[in-house]
Structure 1
Amino acid sequence: MAGGRFAPGHLGELTQCIPFEMVDEALKATGRVQERLRDLPSRVVVYLLLAGCLFPEVGYLGVWRKLTGALAGLPLAAPSASALAQARRRIGATPLKWLFDLLKGPVAGPRTPGAWWRGLLVIALDGTTLTVPDTPAVLTRFTKQAGNHGGTGYPQVRLLTLVACGTRTLIDAVFGPTTSGETTHAPRLLPSLRPGMILLADRNFAAQGLINDIAATGAEVLVRLKNGRRMPILARYRDGSYLSALGPVPVRVVDCEITITTTAGKHTGLYRLATTLLDHHRHPAGELAMLYHQRWEIETAYLELKSTILGGRVLRARTPEGIDQEIYALLVVHQLLRTAMADATSTQPGTDPDRAGFSIAWQAARDQLVLAAGVIADTAIDLAGTIGRHVLAGLLPQRRLRVSPRIVKRAISKYQARGPRIDRTSYKATTGIEILAAAGP
């Protein structure tokens, strides 16, 4: 452990991914180093904020007890709730943002299974919302969404991320009020795009201006279009796709019919995809249609963030500045867990990171923090560590094709809703893809 008043500043085994020197550099770079040595040094407060994301079910006093539970016999501070609150305000959000900017990235090697497609790093862009406390201070910046029943009960924050589909690590993230839409926030992510990437996005991001700006970064695009959108046919290709344009950007359009077959029946949907990959020999239409399915990895990343870590809870912070601080801490912790999982699966060549269980890694990290175990790395490098060994011992089976209805699983009311019974069964499925030739000359 660190000595003296710095002893409570740790994150269990995850401290090896975010060591003392890194946190100290973040504090120095952002001008948040304490002017005098307090009972709660700035480094300890940063680790307290990160540990709070591993234990969202307790208050910060409870988090402090988790950090110090295994440090019996050491002369430790006994801060009050108000002292912890003052320390968090003193730190602010900038050191957490600095740490996230340092840690963000795909964490994917050239041989990481599922991370690449025909030499391109597969990433996805999408948004979600986080719920924050309904306080007068919060409402000065974040608002409740309007609705047919008077709007949501709590204010919300709009979060947009770029996620590496193979490892579900965060390449970048931005957030802001829900009064601005996803396409308004999206341009702030473009500096993180580069040649050698292919960006998957849904219909909401198919605006001409945004696609033009993405293409200007050198990254490739595979975006879904609305089925009724008129696209000029400039040339036809033998794989059924055709050359078209989104504003000044030349694109290939793939119209396809996807049929999902289960024991309960069949479901057919029409998809229209546009891509900046114009060579139909190197990037066949059928493979592009299959690749687009990887976009759902970002939805799984949001599930990890909002359901596994937060458990559907409202964020703690009760001020706009505190919300910024907490969200960056949350993003850092998710990235640390995903990095530990990617490191663990890399020790077994050919193991797809999809098979690593996020819940297993999260619970193992919590246990190691309470035990204050593995804080400082041994002289021998152990890529897996205790967290990784738990992950490898509980690898999920190979990904199977299954379907499940996208429905609300927790009703607002505790009473049985009227109407027919909702089928919540997950079915094994097979997929059929037919490329459709566009009508017209």
Structure 2
Amino acid sequence: ASYEGVPLSEHSVITRVITVAKGVFAPGHLGELTRIVPFEMVDAVLTETGRTQQRLRLLPSRVVVYLLLAAGLFAEVGYLGVWDKLVAGLGGLGLTRPSATGLWHARVRVGVAPLRALFDLLRGPAAGIRTAGVWWCALVVTAIDGTVLDVPDSSGNATGLGKNRSQHGTAGYPQVRLVALVACGTRAVIDAVFGTRSDGETSHALRLVRSLHTGMIVLLDRGFDSNTFLAAVAGTGAQFLVRLNGNRKPPVLARHHDGSYTSIIGGVRVRVIACEITISTTAGTRTGVYRLATTLLDHRRFPAFEVVKLYHERWEVESAYLEIKSTLLGRRVLRSPVPALIAQEIYALLTVYQVIRIAIADTADAAGGVDPDRAGFTLAVQTARDLIVQAANVVAETTIDLIGTIGRHLLDNLMPERRLRVSPRAVKRPLSRYAYKSLGVDRKSYLATLTIDILAGQPALTDQADP
């Protein structure tokens, strides 16, 4: 057969060169994301933690680390299924498929320390000086909040983590409480801690104080307004903006022209802003009164109205949790039946999330100031998965491609500028799917208009959920 004079064979064959590590190390990769987590980095954390294999095995420690990271991208399959994804593009290398028992023992051999060390190397705001949306008045905007992750209902997890009570009796799964410090502009994880749910969010959050410093402002909801915690945050040199509980009655020390007033909370001098926020949609109007306290004391440099607008950035940490729990995990329970391996799995999940966020931020910077909010996290995950299956772009070429295949896909499919939308809070996994029909709960998302009025005079009490 021929086409425009060019002879064609009966079958067309497309060949490509795959560059990976040699021998049994070949399955140890993360597709194009390997450039962010290179072999040398993984080998370094294994050496540092003393987890390099004593003899060369079918599953070298480096391969196990990449397997654990890849598992964070393929939550729908077991570890053997993840192995199959890693070797799908490596046909002809004669690789032997391990057994499920072999993978279990390999995970136990590697342990949690290398994954924790890898996360410590990669965590951070993933932002440059000119990254859009990261800075506010020369401060890096961050937020702290917590969530819970479901883990398998095994005897080991139930004993080590406990099971919570609910209105229907004992909860279905043991849970781990995760509390993270997130950069709002990039949604990258600056630090994260986790532990039993019996310890509250504030108790866990005290361990995040180590990552706060001058040049930051941290946004907090009203669950974090304890005197001890706010004093600890202020002691780091970081600024804070926190929503106050309704039972607080801070003294009025001085009033300012912008409607705010100076007060003191837990020995920390703050400025309190009371405001009324109205959200208008086609479904109606809702108004609430809110009080915020901040260590930004200069009302001329930081007007009350601008500070209230900044507080809405706190929801970026909620979006980060949505991406971890819904996009990566697909709302699934974690895999590991024992708490020690749960910790390993969580550090691997946080690390792969951070790697994707770094890839998105690098793309935004290389493209000349694109806001990272316009890059689709789901698209980045899907592209990263495809490149793992193809074993593509594992090793960088001589000429470094700063954007890469993932970045080009993101730039070709940028989302529009964010619009203000609201949606009623609702349980995403109800015990009964019929409850919404009987209760008439509206779960639609609406375009909204936001009105902010600063309340001067006698301070009002907080009476609504977070705006």
The two structures share one fold, judged by TM-score above 0.5: yes
Deviation at 1:97, TM superposition (A): 0.2
Other structure's SS at 1:424 match: coil
Other structure's SS at 2:165 match: coil
Alignment of 1:3-22 (within 5 A): 3-22=22-41
Is the Cα contact below 8 Å between 2:421 and 2:445 reproduced in 1? yes
1:403 correspondence with 2:403? no
- What residue in structure 2 maps to residue 77 of structure 1? 96
Partners of 2:429 and 2:160 lie apart in 1 by 29
Other structure's SS at 1:223 match: strand
Cα deviation code 1:281-340 (max 9, x no counterpart): 000000010000000000000000000000010000111111000000000000000000
Deviation at 1:57, TM superposition (A): 0.6
Letter of the structure 1 residue corresponding to residue 111 of structure 2: G
Aligned length: 440
Partners of 2:171 and 2:129 lie apart in 1 by 44
The partner residue of 1:121 within 124, 137, 140 is 140
- What residue in structure 1 maps to residue 243 of structure 2? 224
Deviation at 1:425, TM superposition (A): 2.1
Is the Cα contact below 8 Å between 1:255 and 1:438 reproduced in 2? no
The partner residue of 2:83 within 43, 64, 67 is 64
1:393 correspondence with 2:406? no
- What residue in structure 2 maps to residue 169 of structure 1? 188
1:200 correspondence with 2:194? no
Gaps of 5+ in 1: none
Partners of 1:268 and 1:110 lie apart in 2 by 37
- What residue in structure 2 maps to residue 366 of structure 1? 385
The partner residue of 2:106 within 78, 87, 109 is 87
The partner residue of 1:355 within 366, 371, 374 is 374
Partners of 2:261 and 2:181 lie apart in 1 by 28
Question: Normalised by the size of structure 1, how large is the TM-score?
Answer: 0.98
Other structure's SS at 1:140 match: helix
Q: Considering only CA atoms, is the larger Rg found in Structure 1 or Structure 2?
A: 2
Question: Normalised by the size of structure 2, how large is the TM-score?
Answer: 0.93
Partners of 1:61 and 1:265 lie apart in 2 by 51
Partners of 1:12 and 1:183 lie apart in 2 by 38
Deviation at 1:409, TM superposition (A): 4.1
Gaps of 5+ in 2: 1-19, 460-467
- What residue in structure 2 maps to residue 246 of structure 1? 265
- What residue in structure 1 maps to residue 399 of structure 2? 380
Q: RMSD of aligned C-alpha atoms?
A: 1.1
Cα deviation code 1:252-271 (max 9, x no counterpart): 00000001111222110111
- What residue in structure 1 maps to residue 456 of structure 2? 437
- What residue in structure 1 maps to residue 155 of structure 2? 136
- What residue in structure 2 maps to residue 191 of structure 1? 210
The partner residue of 1:269 within 273, 277, 288 is 288
Q: Structure 1 residues 257, 89: CA separation in 2 closer, same or farther (over 3 Å shift)?
A: same
Partners of 2:458 and 2:322 lie apart in 1 by 40
Other structure's SS at 1:166 match: coil
Letter of the structure 1 residue corresponding to residue 157 of structure 2: V
Is the Cα contact below 8 Å between 1:15 and 1:375 reproduced in 2? yes
Other structure's SS at 1:141 match: helix
Cα deviation code 1:188-230 (max 9, x no counterpart): 1111001000000000100011100100000000000023420
1:145 correspondence with 2:175? no
Deviation at 1:419, TM superposition (A): 3.2
Partners of 1:303 and 1:340 lie apart in 2 by 19
The partner residue of 1:99 within 103, 109, 118 is 118
Partners of 2:48 and 2:369 lie apart in 1 by 39
Partners of 1:141 and 1:215 lie apart in 2 by 34
Is the Cα contact below 8 Å between 2:280 and 2:448 reproduced in 1? yes
Deviation at 1:37, TM superposition (A): 0.6
Is the Cα contact below 8 Å between 2:130 and 2:365 reproduced in 1? no
Partners of 2:366 and 2:287 lie apart in 1 by 41
Partners of 1:414 and 1:271 lie apart in 2 by 33
Partners of 1:33 and 1:341 lie apart in 2 by 31
The partner residue of 1:256 within 264, 275, 292 is 275
Partners of 2:435 and 2:164 lie apart in 1 by 27
Letter of the structure 1 residue corresponding to residue 65 of structure 2: V
1:291 correspondence with 2:310? yes
Other structure's SS at 1:32 match: coil
Partners of 2:153 and 2:454 lie apart in 1 by 49
Letter of the structure 2 residue corresponding to residue 388 of structure 1: G
Partners of 1:350 and 1:418 lie apart in 2 by 45
Q: Structure 1 residues 179, 411: CA separation in 2 closer, same or farther (over 3 Å shift)?
A: closer
